[in-house]
Structure 1
Amino acid sequence: MVFLNTSDVLEGKILVNHYTDISELKGQAKKTIQNGDILYSEIRPKNRRYAFVKNLSNPEDFVVSTKLMVLRKKSDDLDTDYLYYFLTSTEAINYLQSRAENRIGSFPQITFEVLKKLKIRLPSLNIQKKIAKILSDLDTKIELNNKINTELEQMVKTLYDYWFVQFDFPDANGKPYKSSGGEMVYNIVLKREIPKGWGVKQLQSCIKKIIDYRGRTPKKLDSDWSQNINDIIALSAKHVKGGKLVSLKEANRVDEKLYQKWMKEELQEGDILMTSEAPCGEFFYLIGETKYCLSQRLFAMRADLEVINNACLFYELSVGNGYSQIMGKVSGSTVFGIRQDELRTVNILIPPTSLQKAFQENVYPIYQRIRNNEKQNQELTQLRDWLLPMLMNGQVAVADAKEMVNEQLGMVVESPADNQLKLTDKDKKIRRKMLATYIINQSLNDTSFGKTKFEKLLHLIECHIVRGNYNQRYSVQAAGPYDGGFTKVFWNEVTKAKWFKIEEFGRLKRIMPAENHPKSLVDYGYLSEDLKLMINDFISEFKTTNYERPEIISTLYAVWNNRIIRKEMITDELLKKDFLEWDTQKERYKDRLDNALLWMRENGIIPDGWGNEIKRAKK
């Protein structure tokens, strides 16, 4: 069974999904759940330990603690999503927290008797659903931005690991340095081999200054915290976690007068924030907003750009050679931290200036996008938190709220067809090139990713996901649908620009990054973030397979779509017949077609007649 305690749920999400032997379950494991239930902790409501059970494939395998209330509606007059937003509103949580604190006991706790006496305004079921949909749209966009940021951060970490840990940065010939036999020398300080010509310096030689105001408080400066939520945020260690600023809503604030007294040295873009203790070793790369006040257990470092740039130093300290050294220098009896004199002795790997510059040029625009998404999430959260009680109390009309949300989300009023009509042939070619480039970059860590696999993924993604008229000219080829006119020009351009290269591993023509590969990562402005996530999910379905599976699916998709376009009868036998008649080489796949068709239906990869019929090319 999967056991859920109060610590296993947080702000709407279930955090664990690992199984425990029934004999090892705790005595508290007594409640079952089902989709549509709301899990709500009895202990300290302000900690927001709640979850909405939705789309869980195995709810019968879950058992929850007696300290989690399992709330299930008993009337069809109540929409569960509406109830969820009501119970998680600031007003409801504050009320329940106050009741918990008034309870006589060892810790603040509520019971179902307290919760069931809450009064909830119940408009018609239709209005409840509309209110929940408005709030859900905001939450969906917030979650989407979080997923996008996670992928962007992973992209940078992968590049850092490839260049500065594996040392496979592009050499003078555009080949991976270490894998291509680049000279390595043993470094006695790091006790490992590093590329010839690289250096190692202590952190104190890599930074201009450490900005540290940890001992300051408002009282010491004859002032007090501001109660104005629009004033300047005072950051402490609890607000830096996982490379992000968190829980800013609960952060203390300072007014401009106190800020000027406090921050004699103001932060600037590129500074690196680090927590000194409780916990030690959390980092934040300051890009975008810089007007913060530094308070408890937090300081900032400013790189000496003549030695190392901001991006390289940030990753060296937060995930690279420096991080393990920092953790090794942590000390303390009850609270673990690091002294600055110890921190300054951490050894930092110094790559050549040209490589540092190339890394920074890749990282900076990505982090700009990350910070923009974070800023948008703050704005969306503020709007949601303001709308929630106003909608629940009927103080804002549903139509007005929907208009506010649409405006905030920046929904496009033009239809996709209108946009397509405005594209020139040059625009279409660029968009298609960016799409193909994105597919490749998301697949470079796939050891079976070669030209054939790329061509079939391009066909499926263009026809099933993107569905944009970019002058595609697919025709019948032995391996499946193929657009030779575009593909040949594309490969000529990207190999000439040294974005990618083809290396032969037996029969596999594997696609690899070339000397100027970072230029292909900078910006894919023609693809929306939602579309990228859909593409990534689709690609992940094929990452553990060689070219054969995408070839089979791509060809089946094509013959199926052809029949829809021609308005012909469709049965599995006819689809298999068309597949085998596509080319004589397809005979080797005949025993795999039933499973392939089943897989396509299970995953919703079903054509609907979009695009043009794929025919044999004229000789």
Structure 2
Amino acid sequence: MTKLLDLCELIVDCEHKTAPKSSDGYPSIRTPNVGRGRLILDGVNRVDEDTYIKWTRRATPAENDLIIAREAPVGNVAIVRKGQKVCLGQRTVLVRPDPNKVDPEFLCYFLLGDYAQNSFLSAATGATVPHLNMSDIRGLSIPALPDRKKQRWIATTLAAYDDLIENNTRRIEILEEMARRLYEEWFVQYHFPGHEGVEFKESELGLIPEGWEVVALEKAVEINPKTKVERDGEKVFVPMGALSESGMVISGWEIKSGNSGAKFQNGDTLVARISPCLENGKTGFVDFLPANQPTACGSTEFIVLRSRSLCPEMVYCLSRSDRFREVAMKSMSGATGRQRVRVESLVGYPIAQPENELVAKYHAFAQPCFKEIRVLANKNANLRQQRDLLLPKLISGEIDVSDIPMPT
């Protein structure tokens, strides 16, 4: 046995205070940004140049460094990739493996394996939020490791899964960006096909195309529609944590009995109505319910939106628009930190209702994008499951890496 510190050039703690945020600049890695193997930069806090310099005085994270979450969740580990210029946020630890002693990528996956994770969890202390002490991280016992050649093979095999997941995630982002940009261009800027020959008229929203009309949101979108979900038996339940802050994909739903909470079906949009989830952008598109279970439940803190005269994809893009979110946030009331959107404030929210032909054209473009996003999200779920099944068996030597085909 050896200690983790013996395999590393340094292991340093983060600054024990909150870094001031900036609208742009360098990513500040907090525990939610430490994924299983890769950094999650979606929705990451950022810091300016001066803060970055101060927050990297102890050590500047570099390629092949590891970042460990000390809590929430305890023991998550990610590797810093080439070109990622980041600094440590609160409750994180920087680990710099000595490449002459251990393959950095292999060490990352080793620390995600059952042996290291069980050691981290058993060492974690704290009555309310379990956390790791620096002495427990530095003193983590490391058993005899395979030779460097086998380390590289294992790391390469597992990294192939993460690379595919990363590529699929990027494709998802591009597809959603295409749909949202076209929505913005056609229905906000009014640069739809043939707009050059269309007359515009005055309205309470300013100039809108002839043939369009300003309507209350409730006329175009059903808000919290009545949806029947059987009380008996187990069914899909979507918690708040299953919604993304920046994308449509809903993942991590649960299976529960009962039918309490918000109720919805495929094609609905879920919007967080509580602070700070709304401000953070938690929104999702329901597209994963099987034919034998067409309705489901979720958090009581969801607003459910269903298309009436638009199309489902337009409703989702509308819910992501700056103007809609601004109105929702301004309507919030309640105690500080637990404010909620007043749904009645959205009922009369004015929107420009396009002609049916243009709605159909947008639907014909956006629907295939949304369907492909769900296909890619399902592929990622399968890849993660395969990787997580392989990881402990490869690390422990139960499976010989030469017997494992690369994922495709």
TM bucket (normalised to shorter chain) is: 0.7 to 0.9
Kindly indicate whether the alpha-carbon contact (under 8 Å) linking 1:322 and 1:348 is maintained by their aligned counterparts in 2.
no
Out of 269, 272, 276, the position equivalent to 2:269 is 272
**Separation in structure 2 between the aligned mates of residue 237 and residue 339 of structure 1, nearest angstrom:** 18
Q: Where do 1:223-302 residues align within 5 Å? A: 232-241=235-244, 242-245=246-249, 248=252, 251-254=253-256, 258=257, 261-262=258-259, 267-278=264-275, 279-280=277-278, 282-289=282-289, 291=293, 292-302=296-306
**Separation in structure 2 between the aligned mates of residue 75 and residue 393 of structure 1, nearest angstrom:** 21
Which of the pair has more CA radius of gyration?
Answer: 1
Kindly indicate whether the alpha-carbon contact (under 8 Å) linking 1:211 and 1:299 is maintained by their aligned counterparts in 2.
no
1:25 is matched with 54
In structure 2, the CA distance between the partners of 1:161 and 1:209, relative to structure 1 (3 Å rule), is closer
How far does the alpha carbon of each residue in 1:319-343 deviate from its partner, in whole angstroms, 9 at most, with x for none? 2653332233222322122133223
**Separation in structure 2 between the aligned mates of residue 399 and residue 125 of structure 1, nearest angstrom:** 15
Kindly indicate whether the alpha-carbon contact (under 8 Å) linking 1:201 and 1:349 is maintained by their aligned counterparts in 2.
yes
How far does the alpha carbon of each residue in 1:133-191 deviate from its partner, in whole angstroms, 9 at most, with x for none? 111000000000011111111111221111111111112xxxxx1xx363211212x3x
Out of 113, 116, 139, the position equivalent to 1:92 is 116
Task: State the percentage of identical aligned residues.
Answer: 22
How far does the alpha carbon of each residue in 1:7-52 deviate from its partner, in whole angstroms, 9 at most, with x for none? 59522328578653379826x84224443322224x3162566442
Q: TM-score, normalised by structure 2?
A: 0.77
Secondary structure of the residue aligned to 1:169 is coil
**Separation in structure 2 between the aligned mates of residue 17 and residue 208 of structure 1, nearest angstrom:** 37
Greater per-residue helix proportion: 1
1:362 is matched with 365
Kindly indicate whether the alpha-carbon contact (under 8 Å) linking 1:69 and 1:112 is maintained by their aligned counterparts in 2.
no
In structure 2, the CA distance between the partners of 1:369 and 1:71, relative to structure 1 (3 Å rule), is same
More displaced stretch, 232-241 vs 17-26:
17-26
Q: Where do 1:108-257 residues align within 5 Å? A: 108-171=131-194, 177=195, 180=196, 182-188=198-204, 190=205, 192-208=206-222, 210-211=224-225, 232-241=235-244, 242-245=246-249, 248=252, 251-254=253-256
How far does the alpha carbon of each residue in 1:490-513 deviate from its partner, in whole angstroms, 9 at most, with x for none? xxxxxxxxxxxxxxxxxxxxxxxx
**Separation in structure 2 between the aligned mates of residue 17 and residue 51 of structure 1, nearest angstrom:** 18
**Separation in structure 1 between the aligned mates of residue 129 and residue 284 of structure 2, nearest angstrom:** 37
Q: Show structure 2 runs of 5+ residues with no match.
A: 1-24
**Which amino acid is 2:59 matched to?**
K
Kindly indicate whether the alpha-carbon contact (under 8 Å) linking 2:79 and 2:108 is maintained by their aligned counterparts in 1.
yes
**Which amino acid is 1:133 matched to?**
T
Q: Show structure 1 runs of 5+ residues with no match.
A: 172-176, 224-230, 410-619
Kindly indicate whether the alpha-carbon contact (under 8 Å) linking 2:68 and 2:94 is maintained by their aligned counterparts in 1.
yes
2:7 is matched with none
How far does the alpha carbon of each residue in 1:211-233 deviate from its partner, in whole angstroms, 9 at most, with x for none? 479xx9xxxx799xxxxxxx754
**Separation in structure 2 between the aligned mates of residue 91 and residue 235 of structure 1, nearest angstrom:** 31
**Which amino acid is 2:267 matched to?**
G
In structure 2, the CA distance between the partners of 1:337 and 1:67, relative to structure 1 (3 Å rule), is closer
1:308 matches 2:310: yes
1:46 matches 2:46: no
**Separation in structure 1 between the aligned mates of residue 87 and residue 263 of structure 2, nearest angstrom:** 51
**Which amino acid is 2:300 matched to?**
Q
**Which amino acid is 2:243 matched to?**
V
**Separation in structure 2 between the aligned mates of residue 392 and residue 63 of structure 1, nearest angstrom:** 29
How much has 1:77 moved relative to structure 2? 4.7
Kindly indicate whether the alpha-carbon contact (under 8 Å) linking 2:175 and 2:369 is maintained by their aligned counterparts in 1.
yes
**Separation in structure 2 between the aligned mates of residue 252 and residue 269 of structure 1, nearest angstrom:** 16
How much has 1:113 moved relative to structure 2? 4.0
Secondary structure of the residue aligned to 1:85 is helix
How much has 1:313 moved relative to structure 2? 2.4
Q: Where do 1:508-587 residues align within 5 Å? A: none
Kindly indicate whether the alpha-carbon contact (under 8 Å) linking 1:269 and 1:286 is maintained by their aligned counterparts in 2.
yes
How much has 1:274 moved relative to structure 2? 1.9
**Separation in structure 2 between the aligned mates of residue 66 and residue 310 of structure 1, nearest angstrom:** 39
1:385 matches 2:378: no
Q: Where do 1:327-476 residues align within 5 Å? A: 327-334=329-336, 335-400=338-403, 402-403=404-405, 405-406=406-407, 409=408
Kindly indicate whether the alpha-carbon contact (under 8 Å) linking 1:316 and 1:349 is maintained by their aligned counterparts in 2.
no
**Separation in structure 1 between the aligned mates of residue 288 and residue 40 of structure 2, nearest angstrom:** 32
**Separation in structure 2 between the aligned mates of residue 22 and residue 205 of structure 1, nearest angstrom:** 48
**Separation in structure 2 between the aligned mates of residue 157 and residue 348 of structure 1, nearest angstrom:** 17
Q: How many residues are paired up?
A: 368
**Separation in structure 2 between the aligned mates of residue 23 and residue 375 of structure 1, nearest angstrom:** 37
